[in-house]
Chain A
Amino acid sequence: MGSGFEIRGSEWPRISPRTPNPLASGYPEPRTAFAELLLTLADDEFVLGFWDSEWTGIAPMLEEDVAFSSLAQDEIGHARVLYELLAELIGDTADHIAYGRQPAEYRHARLMDHPRTDWAFSIARRFLYDTADAARLAVLAHSLDAPLAGIVGKIRREETYHRMHMEAWMQRLAAAGGAAHERLSNALETLWPDALTIFTALDGEEELLNVGILPEPLLGIQQHWLGAIAPLLQSLALPFPFRESGSGHYAPTFPLTMDSGRTAHSDDFRWLWNEFTMVYRAEPGAEW
């Protein structure tokens, strides 16, 4: 991933946004925008974790079944620590945020609105997500919100293995040619527009940038991400539908979706929501 993500040095002082930030003039109250940021991060991990857990018992081979289910569990674990941070911020509980919302209240990117589909599709989605998340986490590791930066540091260490494993699968499916390469290509073609919604600008993003909670705009992080994965996809003859301008800026060659991609969710997601909230809804407020 290289040093392209190292936007601001780690020597920057760690200042919690809960106390006035002397670096910002006229300290705004970024609580709502911060809550929105945490919710998008957590929901992305949470929903992907549940989709990928759908492979438990039916992955292509036993070893991969255990490995892929373990990755799915990791994502739900990452969502948990992020929900806990959010719960502290807004005075709620992690369980209630995770399971107590209606489908329309989830803020995951549209990439996570697709069902499990076939193996190549799940690998393509996880590759796009893990690499995009890596770019996002590399920037958030320098957040001036110390608790968030701390959590992100730990999540990044676990994501290293996720990326290794996804790259291994991308290389093998692409190198196998035939139906494997074709399915992987088709999945990427389908997923590219929705993958970009991971970096849709947040409501109130400007405030988060002003106080250093978000050290760089999401659309800027998107460019780091595209630059990081372009060489691999191009070397595997897989779809990378972007034009690179002279200044290293990648512009999509397909029409962008007009909405944020994080609000109107699919019937597939509503089915998944029904599955993962079933137990919670059976006895709301129960102590586990």
Chain B
Amino acid sequence: MEVYEVFRQEREGEPMRHAGNVLAPDRELATHYAREFYSRRQESIRLWVVPRAAIEQVDDPDLLQPPLDRSFKKPAGYVIKDKLDAARVRGRMP
């Protein structure tokens, strides 16, 4: 038995969102169970069924949560409100 992660799309053009997972003995039954759990009430138009083993996990805090100050990489310190207001005036936008 293997865990399969299921992603679903509600409407055309929307992103695939994680729905949950199912436990199944093989890929074919995994697609059947994904259908039963995540779309039997017409709530999805598309499913992706992915063996959890096929997912590369990245959770190393040294990669994702570097300890030193990174504020210079964030846009917060760069105030654009005045520039935006000036641009609106130039473009006579409301």
What residue in chain A is nearest B1 (Cβ atoms)? A61
Residues of A whose CB lies within 8 Å of any CB of B are 61-64, 66-67, 70, 161, 164-165, 168, 172
Q: Is the CB of A67 within 8 A of B28?
A: no
Q: Are B36 and A61 in contact (CB under 8 A)?
A: no
CB-defined contacts of B23 to chain A, threshold 8 Å: 61-63
- The secondary-structure label for the interface of chain A is helix
Chain B, 1-58, CB within 8 A of any chain A CB: 1, 22-25, 28-29, 32-33, 35-37, 40
Q: Which residues of B contact A66 (CB under 8 A)?
A: 33, 36-37
List, sorted by A's number, 12 A–B pairs whose CB atoms are closer than 8 Å: A62-B23, A63-B22, A63-B24, A63-B36, A63-B37, A64-B33, A67-B36, A161-B32, A168-B28, A168-B29, A168-B32, A172-B25
- List chain A residues, Cβ under 8 A from B25: 172
3 closest Cβ pairs, A-B complex: A63-B33, A67-B36, A165-B32
A161-B32, A164-B32, A168-B28 known; 15 other A-B pairs, CB under 8 Å? Answer: A61-B1, A61-B23, A63-B29, A63-B36, A64-B33, A66-B33, A66-B36, A66-B37, A67-B36, A70-B40, A161-B35, A165-B32, A168-B29, A168-B32, A172-B25
Give bound CA distance, A161 to B32, whole Å: 8
What is the bound-complex CA distance between A186 and B31, given in angstroms? 29
- Residues in A neighbouring B40, C-beta threshold 8 A: 70
A8 to B32, CA, bound (A): 33
